[in-house]
Amino acid sequence: MKLEFLIYISFIIYGLGFTALFFRSKVIVTYSCLFISSFMMRYFIATQDDFLHSWDERYHALVGKNLAKHPFEPTLKDNPILPCNNLDWQSGNVWVHKQPIFLFQIAASIKVFGNSEMAVRFPSIVMGALLSLLIFRIGSITSNSLSGYFASGMFIFSFFQLEQTAGVIGMDHNDIAFAFYVTLSIWGYLEYLESGNKRFVYMIALATAFGTLTKWLPALAIYGVWVIDAVLLDKQKRIHEIFLLFKSFCVSILIWGSWQIYILLRWPIETKFEYEFNRRHFSEELEGHGGNWDYHIKMFDSQYGAYAFILLFVGLLIFLLDKSKKRYKTLFLLIPISTYLVFSIAKTKSFAYVFYISPIVFTIIGYGLYQIITLITAQVLNKVLKYVFYCAILIFYCNYQLSAKNLYKCHVLGQSEYINNYRSVLQHNANIYKQLDIVASDCDIIFNCRNMQIVDAEFYSDKTVYSWFPDSTTIDSLIDADYKIGAFQGFSNQQLPDYIKNNNKIQIIDLIQATE
């Protein structure tokens, strides 16, 4: 694997951060080590695949590229020379299939770093690194700093989360951004509880608004926690708290509601269709994504590692029995339970639908691991011996979370239990599409691309690309309209007809696409 040494450096830096924390060095050292360790792991994973993954990274990449050119016009096929269906999110022009914040982030990254896979993944790298800090702080507030550090390490080396960063697991960068903003709202609420500082009221509003503008209404879950906590206060405090909550909620609605009004006015048909499509997730198994009510529960081991459920149970049980943690119980119960309940009821299921609450889950698991290690080392009085034991268990568990064997299978062998990568095919064809602007420099439109990979071709080039070819009449009309036409050579059962092969006004592109 490329840059494999970054894994070892990441572990070393994470261990240094734990050493600084255990022996009470300045907290900035711990935060710095967490950020650098997490950033390196995510940079490593983002470099492994120099092609776009099938679901849904390629679509997010192309829409982000187009947004970099026109920020307020989300498009997939940016220049549809031939008619297209805007209600088909896989081939249309207007693209309001998903909310825009994470796409704006990708667009900004492409603007700065250029049109590449790394630019698409860079926002997820940064958000993943920042999430490790948020998890540490959340754990420190709700339990203690060692527990928070354990939880942060589990997240840093989480195989499932790293695969999202690499774009392997849909909905990849969308899910990472959603987890980031949901966690940011939780952190803001906890800081508000700790300090009473009203600035965090607006932080919560901004975080929930950005979360909603990433993956819709579950981002508002923290307000449910806030409402319950407010109701439990005495009458005078309750009124004041509800007023602040309402103010924060209104600011949030103002931000995310403005975009909804904009797209409804600009593209009413497409927007209403997508709203209805979102609603149908609860009543239908859309696009073949179905499963039983316990689908997400069964995914728990794949997401958090085998036996993690035991640590979750231990952590949650001790947490609930601890009377000093009363003020945080609504948060740690309501968000996980409501999330799993809602997505278990919904008919449409997918690998990562509930993983956006992983920072909370890791916090509880980290607390469980901390309690078990503390119990085991209760009789160890020597601080250095205790440190060695803590450090050994922590590094061992983080290495287990990383699952290097699965990393190798996915990013070297091209085998994944989540999707069919066809690694060699995607890599070969990506290299071809990166040459299009040079090899087919005179072409405006290119036909006979591999099905589904037209998105890749349009991301890597400035051409309008189709996976099929039109009839001879349409070809003639395009030529008469002064369009320069190119076509990929035939492959498998998709061979070019004579009216294209024998037309000297059409460039047959001398690049052979690979098939499975």
Q: What's the mean pLDDT when you consider all of the chain?
A: 95
Q: What is the pLDDT of residue 113?
A: 97
pLDDT for 202 equals 97
Instruction: Measure the CA–CA gap between 246 and 239, rounded to whole angstroms.
Output: 10
Tell me the pTM. 0.96
pLDDT at 313: 96
Q: Please identify which residue in the block is written with the tokens 């103010």.
A: 247
Residues facing 480 on adjacent strands: none
Residue 445's φ and ψ, nearest 5 degrees, are -140, 140
pLDDT of residue 170 exceeding 80, the answer is no
- Beta strand 506-509 pairing with 445-447: unpaired
Q: Residue 492 — very low, low, confident or very high, per pLDDT cuts 50/70/90?
A: confident
Question: Which residue's entry shows tokens 């940079």?
Answer: 43
Backbone angles phi, psi at 485, to 5 degrees: -110, 140
Q: Which helix (H) or strand (E) holds 445?
A: strand 445-447
CA–CA distance, 58 with 76 (Å, rounded to integer): 10
What would the DSSP string read from start to end of 393-414? HHHHHHHHHH-HHHHHHHHTS-
pLDDT of 508 > 90? The answer is: yes
C-alpha 463/C-alpha 379 separation (Å) is 69
Query: Do residues 47 and 3 make contact, with C-beta atoms less than 8 angstroms apart?
Result: yes
Tracing tokens 């958090």 back to the chain, one arrives at: 304
- pLDDT higher for 305 or 208? 208
- pLDDT greater than 90 at residue 218: yes
User: How far apart, in Å, are the Cα atoms of 26 and each of 10, 31, 35, 448?
Assistant: 20, 9, 15, 60
Q: Which of 455, 401, 387 is nearest to 51 (CA)?
A: 455
Q: Kindly report the backbone phi and psi dihedral angles of residue 494, in degrees, each rounded to the nearest multiple of 5, phi listed first.
A: -120, 75
Reply yes or no on whether the pLDDT at 419 is more than 80. Answer: no
- 224 contacts 217 by C-beta, under 8 angstroms: no
Determine the residue type at 467: S
Cα–Cα distances (Å) from 369 to 23, 313, 365, in that order, read 20, 10, 6
- pLDDT at 69 (0 to 100): 97
- pLDDT value, residue 379: 86
d(CA 424, CA 429): 9
Q: What is the CA radius of gyration of the chain?
A: 25
> pLDDT category, 1, cuts 50, 70, 90?
confident
First to last CA, the chain: 23
- Length of the chain equals 516
Question: Residue 3 phi/psi, 5° resolution?
Answer: 55, 35
> Do 514 and 425 meet the contact criterion of CB atoms below 8 Å apart?
yes
Confidence class of residue 54 from pLDDT cuts 50, 70 and 90?
A: confident
Confidence of residue 421 (pLDDT cuts 50, 70, 90): low
d(CA 107, CA 166): 17
Mean pLDDT over 422-426 rounds to 88
**Is residue 451 a contact partner of residue 425, using CB atoms and an 8 Å limit?**
no
Least confident of 205-214, 417-426, 430-439: 417-426
Q: Compute the distance between CA of residue 95 and CA of residue 98 in angstroms, rounded to an integer.
A: 8
Q: What percentage of the chain has pLDDT greater than the value 90?
A: 88
Q: What is the pLDDT of residue 516?
A: 72
Using an 8 Å Cβ cutoff, are 343 and 349 in contact?
Answer: yes
With a CB cutoff of 8 Å and minimum separation 6, the contacts of 186 are 134, 138, 222, 331, 335, 359, 360
Neighbouring CB atoms inside 10 A of 201's CB total 18
- Spell out the domain ranges in the chain: 5-411, 424-509
Residue 416's pLDDT is: 79
Predicted confidence band at 444 (pLDDT cuts at 50, 70, 90)? very high
DSSP state letters, 185-242: HHHHHHHHHHH--THHHHHHHHHHHHHHHHH-GGGGHHHHHHHHHHHTS-HHHHHHHH
DSSP 451-478: TTTHHHHHHHSSSEE-SS---HHHHHHH
Distance of CA 442 to the CA centre of its chain: 37
Band the pLDDT of 515: cuts 50, 70, 90.
confident
What pLDDT score does 112 carry? 97
Contact between 251 and 208 under an 8 Å Cβ cutoff? The reply is no
- If you ran DSSP here, which 8-state letter would residue 447 be given? E
DSSP 127-143: HHHHHHHHHHHHHHHHT
Q: What is the pLDDT of residue 420?
A: 62
pLDDT tens profile 62-87: 999 999 999 999 999 999 999 999 99
Tokens 């806030």 correspond to 226
